[in-house]
Amino acid sequence: MTRLLIIGPPGSGKGTQAGQLARHFGVPAVSTGDIFRSNVDRQTELGNQAARYLDGGRFVPDHLTNALVKDRLLERDARHGFLLDGYPRTATQATELDAMLAEQGHALDAVIELRAPDAELEERMHQRAREQGRTDDTIDVFRRRLDLYHRQTHEVVSVYAGRGILVSVNGSGDPVGITALAIAAVEQFLTAPRPPS
C-alpha cells in the first residue's frame, strides 16, 4: 500500500486534492483537523487536552499533535497506507513522523507539493469568502497564514526534497486537471526505478 503526504499553501485546494488522491490510491485521507475534531467529539483523553488549546484559539502543541497523529495511524484502516494532510507542518514534526513510521517498519513513499502563485491563492480566498460568506477569510488573516506556511513549511519541503521523495505539482487552474496531473506525477514517481541505497 501507499503512504503519501500532501503539502500546499492555504487556498491551494489541498483538502480537495487530498480526498481525490486518497480515493484513487485506495487509502484513507488523514487530516489533522479531522483527527482533532474526532477526538474532541469522542472526548478521548487526548481530545480533552487538545480542546483546551482549540477553545482558546491557540495552536495544539507538537507533543499533543504528534500523539494524536500516531494514534490515528495505528487505526486499522491506516495500517497499510494513508494520505496525510496538514501534518507535519514543521521539520520537528517531520522527524517525529519518521520515528512513528519506523516503529512500524515503514516510511513515506512520496510527498506531493502543490504549488501556486501567491496572487492566485489570494484571489481564490476572495472568491471563497464571497461564495461562502466566511468572515475569517480576510486579506490580513490570509496573508498571515500564507507567511506562516512559507516560513515553517519551507523546512519540511526541503527535508523531503533532500530525500528525493518530493513530487511537485502545478496547483494552478482547474481542480479536475490538477487531480489528473497529481495522479500521473505520483504514479510515475512510484513506478520509476530507484537507485540502490
pLDDT attached to residue 136: 59
The angle at the Cα of 101, spanning 181 to 68, to the nearest 5 degrees, equals 95
Instruction: Looking at the structure, give the CATH architecture of the domain made up of residues 3-28+79-191.
Output: 3-Layer(aba) Sandwich (3.40)
- Please state the rounded mean pLDDT for residues 170-175: 91
156 known member of a binding site: no
Q: Per-residue pLDDT tens for 27-86?
A: 999 998 899 889 999 999 988 998 888 777 777 889 999 999 999 999 999 988 999 998
Closest CA to 18 of 34, 2, 39, 4: 4
87 known member of a binding site: yes
Cell triple for 156? 519540511
Q: Per-residue pLDDT tens for 115-140?
A: 999 999 988 888 877 787 766 567 88
pLDDT attached to residue 134: 62
Q: Is 29 helix (H, G, I), strand (E, B) or coil?
A: strand
58 known member of a binding site: yes
User: Alpha-carbon distance 154 to 25, whole Å?
Assistant: 26
37 known member of a binding site: yes
pLDDT attached to residue 127: 83
Active site residue 52: no
Active site residue 23: no
Active site residue 134: yes
The catalytically annotated residue of 145, 151, 163, 194 is 145
Find residue 7's DSSP bridge partners. Answer: 113
Active site residue 3: no
Active site residue 14: yes
The answer to whether residues 154 and 54 touch, using CB atoms and an 8 Å cutoff, is no
15 known member of a binding site: yes
User: Alpha-carbon distance 185 to 174, whole Å?
Assistant: 16
Confidence of residue 152 (pLDDT cuts 50, 70, 90): confident
Closest CA to 22 of 197, 195, 179, 190: 179
